[in-house]
Amino acid sequence: EVQLLESGGGLVQPGGSLRLSCAASGFTFSSYAMGWVRQAPGQGLEWVSVISRSGGNTYYADSVKGRFTISRDSSKNTLYLQMNSLRVEDTALYYCAKDLVASGYYGAFDYWGQGTLVTVSS
Amino acid sequence: QSVLTQPPSASGTPGQRVTISCSGSSSNIGTTFVYWYQHLPGTVPKLLINRNDQRPSGVPDRFSGSKSGTSASLAISGLRSEDEADYYCAAWDDSLSGVVFGGGTRLTVL
């Protein structure tokens, strides 16, 4: 059974940092691209970032580019999202998601974690 | 403002067929695949349609996807009360080098 378990969310002040983790199990982690998608309170889904199977290709939404860094550790079957210079508008539920592909046209997220809540507030 | 445009709401009665549209451009829907997600209240999003018109295992054939040019549609036939959810289209955008989501359509079963 595929499982994605996010952690690392919490309350942080504007300008602060957080690192989200997503522990994956039940599939060959190194064979698939992985991504982060967020949902702000009362808003729709917003794609944040995706990383290829190898980790060699990473992509970011313009809203987080230069502030967030996605990475993966296949030895630990874990996906990460380092979030720096956090803003109030980054407040959201952050989902970790597995893509159907290894690389190429991303966006087919077939498994999702339950999400971890990030609140940016003073 | 989302790159992909969806109507904010849709509705239908049980047993009806409803369609939800998703409008994009040549850099996303026009050249890449469209994906559809169902997001039921209190649950995580679920991939409903892959690669324009493919249903992942376990998705009922009441759900179907299509694409024409820079637009796509999700059709739900035999509408049921449990279909009441938010529906999102998504696609890879070659110009943005990223995934773009539509703003979502809230489906109400009357």
Which residues on chain A are in Cβ contact (under 8 Å) with B39?
A: 45
Nearest to A27 by CA among A70, A72, A71, A74: A74
Q: Indicate if the alpha-carbon torsion angle A116, B91, B73, B70 is positive or negative.
A: positive
Instruction: Please determine, for residue B36, whether its predicted confidence score (pLDDT) is greater than 90.
Output: yes
Band of residue B1 on the pLDDT scale cut at 50, 70, 90 = confident
The answer to whether the beta carbons of residues A24 and A79 sit under 8 Å apart is yes
Give the residue from B3, B35, B99 with the most A CB atoms within 10 Å of its CB, the best one to mutate. Answer: B99
pLDDT tens for B38-66 read 999 889 999 999 999 999 999 999 999 99
Greater confidence (A104 vs A53) lies with A53
Rounded percentage of chain A residues whose pLDDT exceeds 90: 94
Band of residue A105 on the pLDDT scale cut at 50, 70, 90 = confident
Given this model, what pLDDT does residue A107 score? 87
Q: Which residues contact B95 (CB under 8 A, 6 or more apart)?
A: B27, B28
Instruction: Please determine, for residue A103, whether its predicted confidence score (pLDDT) is greater than 90.
Output: no
Q: Would strands B85-93 and B105-109 be described as parallel, antiparallel, or unpaired? A: antiparallel
Q: Kindly calculate the radius of gyration of chain A based on its CA atoms and give it in whole angstroms.
A: 13
Q: Which residues contact A20 (CB under 8 A, 6 or more apart)?
A: A6, A7, A8, A9, A36, A80, A81, A83, A94, A96, A116, A118
Q: Measured between CB atoms, does A29 come within 8 Å of chain B?
A: no
Given this model, what pLDDT does residue A102 score? 80
Region of A107 please: left (phi>0), alpha (psi -120 to 50) or beta: left
Find the angle CA(B99)-CA(A78)-CA(B55) to the nearest 5 degrees. Answer: 45
Given this model, what pLDDT does residue A101 score? 87
Q: Do A107 and B88 touch (CB under 8 A)?
A: no
Given this model, what pLDDT does residue A30 score? 95
Which residues on chain A are in Cβ contact (under 8 Å) with B46?
A: 112
Q: Measured between CB atoms, does A3 come within 8 Å of chain B?
A: no
Mean pLDDT of the A88-110 span: 93
Residue matched to tokens 């994605």: A4
Given this model, what pLDDT does residue B7 score? 98
pLDDT tens for A59-75 read 999 999 999 999 999 99
Q: Quote the CA–CA distance of B38 and B44 in Å, as a whole number.
A: 9
Q: Quote the CA–CA distance of A30 and A95 in Å, as a whole number.
A: 19
Given this model, what pLDDT does residue A104 score? 80
Rounded percentage of chain A residues whose pLDDT exceeds 70: 100
Average model confidence (pLDDT) across chain A: 96
